[in-house]
Amino acid sequence: MIRLNDIIDKVASYSDIANEDLDFIKKAYIYSAKVHSGQKRVSGEPYLSHPLEVSSVLADLKLDVPSIVTGLLHDTIEDTLATHEEIKQLFGEEIVFLVDATTKISRLPHVSDVEKQAESFRKLILATAKDIRVVLIKLADRLHNMRTLEYLPEDKQRRIAVETMEIYAPLAHRLGMNWISVELEDLAFKFSEPGEYDRIRKTVSTKKKDWEKYTNEIVSLITAKMKEFGIRGDVSWRFKHLYGIYSKMKKGNISLRNIYDILGFRIVTASENECYQVLGAVHSLWKPIPGRIKDYIALPKANNYQSIHTAVIGPFGEQMEIQIRTEQMHRIAEYGVAAHWRYKEGDLLENGNDKIYSNLRHLVELKDIKDSAEYLEAIKGELILDVIYVYTPNADLLEFPVGATPVDFAYSIHTDIGNHCSQAFVNRKLVPLDYKLKTGDMVEVVTSKNRAPNRQWLDFVVTSKAKNRIRSWLRQEENRKAEQIGEVITHRKLAAKGFNLRHLREKKKFEESLAKLQFSEVKDFYRAVGFGDAAVTDLLKAMHPRKFAEGAEKSKRIKSIVNRISKDEYKDAVLVKRYDNILIKFGKCCNPVPGEPIIGFITRGRGITVHVYNCPKLLEVAPERRIDVAWNDEYSGRIPVGLSVRCENRKGILSELTSTVSGLNVDIVRADVSEDEIGQGDARFEVAVENITQLEKLIESLKNLGGVISVERLTEISHPRPDDLNREGA
């Protein structure tokens, strides 16, 4: 376990630490040790080891004393009996703000994991807008948690690893903190794709042994050539990190043996001019590979990264990547926003000229997205790493994620331009609106007041701004139409009962009745009627309770039936915020099981349908119909899942399949076997599992059986239907 003196030595190496600063750090250490006393991490280590390690990472980032102190105290409010007031009294306003900002939201009942994740991240970003150190402390916290992830259960390992890969590693990259983003990616890769991780790790380990024989010779050749050109600089080498290799394999759809630039060299010089001289020196040594020269000095990345990249055929016939940068560029590349945060203190929204702060401002601007799933989707969209650069007709350079279209371009200029975009010209040629832009394109859009967004645009836009503006437009249109429909229905049904709506609206009783139904304006009531969320009879009962009470007994009978319907055997598996007794159905398109991220949506007259968080079906659902749901941790039942096992049709294989299923404590509900023309079998099982971890283990075990060709998870299995349940309860 790291010691306090180690942290103090690190701080002293880059800062003139005064006696009062030293006392402040020691005071925080003593307090943290006291409140965490007796607590242990899952690894068995004293809990104090975690805040010490977090503070050590912050010292590696060369942050100030308040940051180091916050590292020692960051878990006190969340995990001990320490209070906000006590921290404020002992350590002051600055520290209590930083500690509170890095504390996750409290665990609330009937709140889904997606909502908790979204709200914790929303809180983090809004606090970061006030003080950039908040996100740096949070990244240090996440880094140490990932370093010790092996001690958690497998399902938690995977969930945290996926979250790290989707949000925290890209966030570190967008902030220019290369060494943290690389380590987070590799650790997340290790736990989210353990098989691929081990395979690549072993192969790279073998290559390292071969290449290490030649690296010193290559460094000597480069150093000698630089001396010949009269350039001073440091030359170092490194292997591409494991996730970098894996992502390159996936992106290019190539095998590991075809990744040639696993080895890379870095040259750090004194000036920008020398960087270009070094490029010439390297190319005089070895032939460059066409199309592989990238000048990020002239055109920096969005996170302020600057460097020249070139790839050459080295002296031993292997491809090598060489990066060339100045000392200042290297410091920014490794530490990013942490390298110059002192000069940008204050509200980051005021720092408009800094690209890194611009990235954070974009995240802050997403704060008003209410839907948790939509908010997380927008955040991930803003953190996309691969970018292109295109020009406006005025030669302004704009940055977009790879895959961006003219519609994304239009919304980046102004919402009205995006909403009324009708045509697009790229390099003065007419292109479709879903055309994928490329670096160097000059883009111009034409607007028309008769043109409006449509739902198909969501299929091809990639920027979060475009998606949010399109959804906002569609919601407004749906609300407007629902309002019109609801007004017509209200007029007709009231007229059928002998009432005139215009006369009713002139009476105070009408407004009072709307208020009883929790509608502040009549248009809100119309909209609810249009969506099927309210009924005109409710309004009549509120205005004339005695006259329309004869339907009360019928209403009770209906409610009784609904309650019986709601008591299906899977209802207790899912919690719905604000609803204690409502019909729960699982989407047949994805058939979720406990442990998978889920989201629900309201279906007219059919309760809540639950889907896996990333189910494509959800794209067709209006966002306002989404509702946050969560798995019930206390649910002890099992969920049915369909499996299709393609296998050799040999004697005894069915017995092996069923034994494997039973051996993992999984119940077999139904099994069917068929044979095709080429002598292969197709075994279809309906099994009942406790959670996603058990299902994944089952699938992996079946795949490892001799004679099994493939195992696929099915979605089309039978669940109890509401009408069946109604008949059973009648």
**Residue 719: predicted pLDDT:** 42
What mean pLDDT is reported for the chain? Answer: 83
Average pLDDT over residues 63-78: 94
**Residue 580: predicted pLDDT:** 58
Dist CA 170 CA 191 (whole Å)? 17
Average pLDDT over residues 247-261: 76
Indicate whether 730 pLDDT > 70.
no
**Residue 308: predicted pLDDT:** 96
Please tell me the chain's helix, strand, coil percentages from 3-state DSSP, rounded to the nearest 5: 55, 15, 30
Amino acid at 189: F
Paired with 324 in beta bridges are: 267, 308
Average pLDDT over residues 586-608: 80
Radius of gyration of the chain (CA): 31
Average pLDDT over residues 74-85: 90
**Residue 98: predicted pLDDT:** 94
pLDDT classification of 56: cutoffs 50, 70, 90: very high
Average pLDDT over residues 493-503: 78
Dist CA 563 CA 568 (whole Å)? 10
Distances (CA, A) of 202 to 42, 199, 623: 29, 5, 45
Q: Which residue has the higher pLDDT, 401 or 444?
A: 444
**Residue 604: predicted pLDDT:** 61
Residues with Cβ within 8 Å of 277's Cβ and at least 6 positions away in sequence, in order, are: 229, 231
**Residue 385: predicted pLDDT:** 65
Give pLDDT tens digits for 504-522. Answer: 777 777 778 888 888 888 8
Listed residue (612, 585, 588) closest to 716, CA to CA: 588
Distances (CA, A) of 34 to 94, 103, 134, 137, 469: 21, 19, 24, 21, 50
Paired with 542 in beta bridges are: none
- What's the start-to-end Cα distance of the chain, in Å? 65
Q: How many CB atoms lie within 10 A of CB 380?
A: 13
Indicate whether 728 pLDDT > 50.
no
Average pLDDT over residues 425-439: 93
Q: Which alpha helices (DSSP H) does 650-705 contain, by range?
A: 653-663, 692-703
Catalytic residue (choose from 78, 94, 166, 572): 78
Return the minimum-mean-pLDDT range out of 331-340, 490-499, 554-563. 554-563
Residue 196, phi then psi, degrees to nearest 5: -65, -40
Dist CA 445 CA 466 (whole Å)? 15
Q: Which residue has the higher pLDDT, 437 or 494?
A: 437
Please provide the DSSP assignment of 497-527 as one string.
Answer: TT--HHHHHTSHHHHHHHHHTT-SSHHHHHH
pLDDT classification of 368: cutoffs 50, 70, 90: confident
Return the minimum-mean-pLDDT range out of 28-37, 132-141, 480-489. 480-489
**Residue 353: predicted pLDDT:** 44
Dist CA 460 CA 406 (whole Å)? 10
Listed residue (206, 212, 200, 275) closest to 241, CA to CA: 200
Distances (CA, A) of 105 to 36, 77, 113: 20, 11, 12
Q: Any idea what DSSP says for residue 324?
A: E
Give pLDDT tens digits for 255-278. Answer: 777 776 678 899 999 999 999 999
Note if 434 is an active site residue: no
Q: Which residue has the higher pLDDT, 300 or 68?
A: 68
Q: Are 439 and 389 in contact (CB under 8 A)?
A: yes
Secondary structure class of 610 (helix, strand, coil) = strand
**Residue 427: predicted pLDDT:** 93
Q: How many CB atoms lie within 10 A of CB 277?
A: 17
312 φ/ψ sector (left φ>0, alpha ψ -120 to 50, else beta):
beta
Average pLDDT over residues 285-311: 88
Listed residue (376, 304, 374, 377) closest to 335, CA to CA: 304
Q: Any idea what DSSP says for residue 342?
A: G
Q: Are 107 and 113 in contact (CB under 8 A)?
A: no
> Which domains can be identified in the chain, with CATH numbers?
4-153 (1.10.3210.10), 195-338 (3.30.460.10), 386-457 (3.10.20.30), 471-547 (no CATH), 559-631 (no CATH), 639-723 (3.30.70.260)
Tally DSSP H helices, then E strands, for the chain: 29, 20
Residues in the chain: 730
Decide: residue 470, CB within 10 A, 0-12 exposed, 13-18 middle, 19+ buried: buried
Secondary structure class of 205 (helix, strand, coil) = helix
Instruction: Give the percent of the chain with pLDDT over 70.
Output: 87
Dist CA 29 CA 71 (whole Å)? 10
Note if 728 is an active site residue: no
Residues with Cβ within 8 Å of 415's Cβ and at least 6 positions away in sequence, in order, are: 469
Give pLDDT tens digits for 513-553. Answer: 888 888 888 888 888 887 777 888 888 888 777 666 554 44
pLDDT classification of 676: cutoffs 50, 70, 90: low
Secondary structure class of 620 (helix, strand, coil) = helix
**Residue 554: predicted pLDDT:** 47
| Token pair for 504 | 């009713």
**Residue 498: predicted pLDDT:** 79
Dist CA 433 CA 410 (whole Å)? 10
Give pLDDT tens digits for 405-416. Answer: 999 999 999 999
Q: How many CB atoms lie within 10 A of CB 109?
A: 7
Please provide the DSSP assignment of 544-563 as one string.
Answer: -TTTTGGGHHHHHHHHHHHH
Give pLDDT tens digits for 339-359. Answer: 765 444 444 445 444 566 666
Q: How many CB atoms lie within 10 A of CB 108?
A: 11
pLDDT classification of 188: cutoffs 50, 70, 90: very high
Amino acid at 684: R
Secondary structure class of 642 (helix, strand, coil) = strand
Indicate whether 249 pLDDT > 70.
yes
Q: Are 338 and 356 in contact (CB under 8 A)?
A: no
Q: Which residue has the higher pLDDT, 504 or 92?
A: 92
* Strand runs labelled E in 103-162: none
Indicate whether 561 pLDDT > 50.
no
Q: Which residue has the higher pLDDT, 94 or 581?
A: 94
Dist CA 363 CA 556 (whole Å)? 49
Listed residue (458, 307, 463, 329) closest to 383, CA to CA: 463
β pairing state of 263-269 and 319-326: parallel
Q: Which residue has the higher pLDDT, 497 or 698?
A: 698
Give pLDDT tens digits for 208-234. Answer: 777 777 888 899 999 999 999 999 999
Catalytic residue (choose from 79, 193, 533, 656): 79
Indicate whether 721 pLDDT > 70.
no
Listed residue (703, 722, 720, 725) closest to 712, CA to CA: 703
**Residue 136: predicted pLDDT:** 94
pLDDT classification of 381: cutoffs 50, 70, 90: confident
